[in-house]
Structure 1
């Protein structure tokens, strides 16, 4: 197996995507795979990757970035082009963090193998080995397996310099307030008058929605690591169980029986008790996020926000 780049690295600079006149820029927007294939080849970063853009199969599951499945002699790869402008407080979109996490988790049977990370004229890009199989949203397995996957992740050591996730009621209140969009403000809600301190932080995926879990022949795997954090494990549980994320990825929220099976399989009474105490904060947090997307024009997120508010 020949890697795309023998020593993966991510450059510090950030490309602007501007490569000449407006006609060129418009063409890049319409056909980014063709330009990205040429850019990777010009930078010497496409070793073994199919260079014909007609062979680049667009992957449509993500809501933030662009990605393609690309043939490679050692096995298909995923080429992921970041759109940093899609970052937000709840879900940062950090290519440096994703590359660092894939390196850190190499060999742990939980994430893809990183082959390359760097900048292109179109923006930050990573290349990793494709994991065959449907996402959990497409090929659902026992929900208990997802809980066990996250429990395993939360037990792993974290790499250095991870961002802190909100941990405790004070930081959750601050993040909810920071997310509320001016154009579509969060309705007045009353959160429980409780104060829970931070807990010992654990390694978090940050965005373990059904579309970011692959059902492979070797078990479940997590992809899209652009939002990792060191924080309260309840955050990952709340994201997976979120009514909004259920609607957006599954077509309907998980029912009460599925949620109960998930929490039972996570098998940590202290974490589950804390999750239940913080559930109103998590609903408000996700409602604020969805309203920020709705303010930018996403009708599905407006409906998703209503589900979170109704669950408060």
Structure 2
């Protein structure tokens, strides 16, 4: 970024964007920085806001491009169905970067259990209202394997890539079928569920796309994704509870048949990021390396069953 967005300039900017009258009692504090954006939380009496400043050039990604406008479009639709917080603002910051603000009634507690998470993503999967302008993403066992192949082909000198290729599931292990695409979240985990005063809501829609709801089940049980969000992977009992509580058991059955393809593709993505970020962002590269190890360990456990 050409200019660092300071807390004071951000607060002045928010005063022009939000319909709050009691700015004297407003409290702005930074939250942990993610790989593609910075976060703040703004608290005023009875209401909370999260502010996301998107870093530039994060759109160029082989599996998870960061698309700020897409997140704004998703929030505008999904908040009407009590699936996401309300979109409060989407504008250009004083530093020239995209800034998105969502708001919600302040919660009394922040606990989310796996059954509540399953019900929330199940309601989202059943939603028929389409979002505007969403990308088309790999969907189904065979498409995700092909995307994983492409990412490994982009790092031909990687010795770890050669090892990961040996774990690649066989194409003929799952019958190829057409996929009925719908909007999927794609980074669904306990780290992307927000407790609000009106119940649980889904956040982080910048990676969403038209795909298969199976991917959101995979995300929730993925130990690699949990690791990237700074969470502990789900224990087996919690995974079982989530799958039992998911409203459409036909989707769960397809997940059980196809999950290894999605896990392998995500492992390929983690390896691609690990290799390509080594010189530009070593901490992020190490985080993706840990996520890769988690996904590989899971695939080995699944293979041993």
TM-based fold match above 0.5: yes
With normalisation by structure 2, the TM-score equals: 0.80
For 2:43 and 2:226, how far apart are their aligned partners in 1? 32
Correspondence 1:269 to 2:249: yes
For 1:153 and 1:61, how far apart are their aligned partners in 2? 27
Task: Tell me which residue corresponds to 1:129.
Answer: 103
Deviation for aligned residue 1:215:
2.5
Task: Tell me which residue corresponds to 2:42.
Answer: 70
With normalisation by structure 1, the TM-score equals: 0.78
Task: Tell me which residue corresponds to 2:122.
Answer: 151
8 A Cα contact 2:104 2:196, kept in partner = no
Quickly say closer, same or farther: Cα 1:216–1:39, change in 2 above 3 A: closer
2:87 to 90, 114, 118: 114
For 1:291 and 1:310, how far apart are their aligned partners in 2? 14
Runs of 5+ in structure 1 lacking a partner? Answer: 1-16, 19-24
Correspondence 1:246 to 2:230: no
- 1:18-62 Cα shifts (integer Å, max 9, x gaps): 3xxxxxx4xx2xx63334345566xx546648889x942112274
Deviation for aligned residue 1:232:
0.5
Quickly say closer, same or farther: Cα 1:294–1:215, change in 2 above 3 A: same
* Higher share of residues assigned helix: 2
For 2:19 and 2:123, how far apart are their aligned partners in 1? 34
Quickly say closer, same or farther: Cα 1:72–1:179, change in 2 above 3 A: farther
The root-mean-square deviation of aligned C-alpha atoms, in Å, is 2.9
Task: Tell me which residue corresponds to 1:83.
Answer: 55
Point out the more displaced range, 169-178 or 112-121: 169-178
8 A Cα contact 2:184 2:210, kept in partner = yes
SS for the counterpart of 1:311 is helix
For 1:196 and 1:278, how far apart are their aligned partners in 2? 11
* Equivalenced residues, count: 280
Runs of 5+ in structure 2 lacking a partner? Answer: 300-305
8 A Cα contact 2:67 2:207, kept in partner = yes
Task: Tell me which residue corresponds to 2:138.
Answer: 166
8 A Cα contact 1:112 1:128, kept in partner = yes
Deviation for aligned residue 1:64:
2.7
8 A Cα contact 2:41 2:51, kept in partner = yes
